[in-house]
Amino acid sequence: MSTLASLAAETSTSSGEAAQFWVLGPIALLGGLGTVLMRRAVYSALCLAGTMVILALFYLANGAYFLGMVQIVVYTGAVMMLFLFVLMLVGVSSTDSLKETLKGQRWLAAGCALGLGLLLVAGIGQASTGSFTGLAQANSEGNVQGLASLLFTRYVVAFEVTGVLLTIAAVGATLMTHRERLERAKSQREQAEARVRENKHVPPLPAPGVYARHNAVDLPGLLPDGTPSELTVNPTLRARGQVREVHQEALAAVRALEQRTNRHHGRAEAPGEPGGNGGAHGANGANGVNGKGVGAGSAADDEGAVTDAEEARK
Amino acid sequence: MSPENYLYLSALLFTLGAAGVLLRRNAIVVFMCVELMLNAANLALVTFSRMHGNLDGQILAFFVMVVAAAEVVVGLAIIVTVYRSRHSASVDDASLMKL
pLDDT in tens, A186-220: 898 998 888 899 888 788 887 777 655 566 777 78
Domain membership of residue B15 (yes or no) is no
DSSP letters for A256-311: HHHHHHHHHTT----TT-HHHHHHHHHHHHHTTSGGGT----HHHHHHHHHHHHHH
Top residue of B59, B67, B92 to mutate, by most chain A CBs within 10 Å, is B59
Q: How many residues does chain A have?
A: 314
- Grouping H, G, I as helix, E, B as strand and the rest as coil, residue A248 is helix
Nearest CB to B53 within list A70, A94, A133: A133
Domain membership of residue B11 (yes or no) is no
Domain membership of residue B10 (yes or no) is no
Nearest CB to A116 within list B18, B77, B78: B18
Q: Phi and psi at residue B90, in whole multiples of 5°?
A: -85, 140
Nearest CB to B61 within list A63, A67, A101: A67
- Check residue A232 and give its pLDDT: 82
Domain membership of residue B42 (yes or no) is yes
**Number of compact structural domains in chain B:** 1
Cβ separation B43–A58 shorter than 8 A: yes
Domain membership of residue B91 (yes or no) is no
Compute how many other C-beta atoms are within 10 angstroms of the C-beta atom of residue B87.
10
Give the domain A1-92+135-140 fold.
Four Helix Bundle (Hemerythrin (Met), subunit A) (1.20.120)
Give B16's contacts in chain A (Cβ within 8 Å): 29, 32-33, 35-36, 113
Domain membership of residue B43 (yes or no) is yes
Q: Please state, in angstroms and rounded to a whole number, the distance separating the CA atoms of residues A15 and A21.
A: 10
Q: How many residues does chain B have?
A: 99
- Band (A115; pLDDT cuts 50, 70, 90): very high
Domain membership of residue B93 (yes or no) is no
Q: What is the pLDDT of residues B24-58, one digit of tens each?
A: 888 899 999 999 999 999 999 999 999 888 899 99
Q: What is the pLDDT of residues A125-180, one digit of tens each?
A: 888 666 788 888 888 888 899 999 999 999 999 999 999 999 999 999 998 888 77
Q: What is the pTM of this model?
A: 0.69
Mean pLDDT, chain B, integer:
89
CB-based contacts of A64, cutoff 8 Å, min separation 6: A143, B46, B49, B50, B58, B61
Range(s) of the domain holding residue B54: 27-86
Domain membership of residue B18 (yes or no) is no
